[in-house]
Amino acid sequence: MKIKTVATTSEDNLTPTMEDYLEAIYTLSQEKRAVRVKDIANRLGVKMPTVTSMLKTLSDKGMIDHEKYEYLELTGKGSHIGSQIDHRHQILKSFLIDILQIDHDQADEDACKMEHAVSPTTLERIVEFMEFIENCPRSGSDWLDLFSEYRRHEMPREKCLEKMKDFVDKYSAKIRAMER
Amino acid sequence: MKIKTVATTSEDNLTPTMEDYLEAIYTLSQEKRAVRVKDIANRLGVKMPTVTSMLKTLSDKGMIDHEKYEYLELTGKGSHIGSQIDHRHQILKSFLIDILQIDHDQADEDACKMEHAVSPTTLERIVEFMEFIENCPRSGSDWLDLFSEYRRHEMPREKCLEKMKDFVDKYSAKIRAMER
DNA sequence: TTAATAAATTAGAAGGATAAAACTTTATTT
DNA sequence: AAATAAAGTTTTATCCTTCTAATTTATTAA
């Protein structure tokens, strides 16, 4: 028989918003020696009282150490989660910028929302996909350049043909190299 | 001088949750003649009173027509938004399944969350990227099959070489065809 | 057609995220 | 050190989303 262990506030079901706070605190503490309430508010685009009340919540959940009017620090748990979220953010941002060629600011904005939406499986698959693009001789960075041109509709027949020939030459050389 | 026009409930700032309801109602109304509160509740995994209160909100926003205890219908506006959200969902799902090769259920779950996170720009770029993969002679469906094998770590050297040769033959033929 | 059942709604409550206003504490300046 | 400014907190309130329990309406079966 299963007995539910006294469920207090301290369960670590974090909402996306809480994750955002942990991520912000994590990145801020990497940028400067001390994290201030004001900085968190600025980073997340909310007012200071909102931060204060969230700090209370995160304290109760054992994610941060915080004494009134004093500096705050992530606990081991909080730091771990903060870095995780930041990691997801970086992966998604890289995908948006390097593969989809989204501009920096937009990528950052989208990554910030997507980091809460994407499952671990999908995130891992995105990493594999980026690796695959990089490593497969048929894709790689010149193929991504092609995507860039494709988007701009700058792909007249002759240019395309020329590029295809270029590619097939290099590709054949690669095969010969492998055979040796 | 700008005068703010009496901002009542009827502003159409929709939260992601509201968008989910509109999408659910939209897809349900395509699946069956009448949409029932119970169906919406089931589809979204909430209880019926939650649906009732959201229907009130969406009514106030002019998204649905709904008389107590009677069937409900999307208005033009509501239907338009519902179909838009569904469209985003389909695009993201297709990307997750066809490109990233995520399984169906997981893709559906992720798409449902991502549909609120991804900007129009990024969504459009994903469409272009899928088109590019499909149309560029260097990628295409066999390249995606390669990704599938890559993921499973089934890419011994000989197999890779063999595949590369196969590809270069077909690719060369394609170039010759274009030159004519 | 009435009794039983299913569907929908109301009422009341709670938790999460936010902010304005007022207050307290800490830091800075003179 | 006192005065001023800046940072942080409390209090109070709102909006959003959800729920349970109780009630009402509609549908179905006897």
Chain B CB within 8 Å of residue A155 CB: no
Q: For A55-74, write each residue's pLDDT tens digit.
A: 999 999 999 999 999 989 99
DSSP state of B153: T
Do residue A172 and residue B175 have CB atoms under 8 angstroms apart? Answer: no
pTM of the complete model: 0.90
Given a cut of 50, is residue B5 above it in pLDDT? no
Given a cut of 70, is residue B136 above it in pLDDT? yes
Given a cut of 60, is residue B164 above it in pLDDT? yes
CB proximity B36–strand C (7 Å threshold): yes
Give pLDDT, residue B162. 87
Across chain A, which distance is largest between two alpha carbons, in Å?
74
Q: What whole-number distance in Å separates Cα of residue A131 and Cα of residue A134?
A: 5
Give the closest of B113, B165, B175 to A117, CB-based. B113
Do residue A117 and residue B119 have CB atoms under 8 angstroms apart? Answer: no
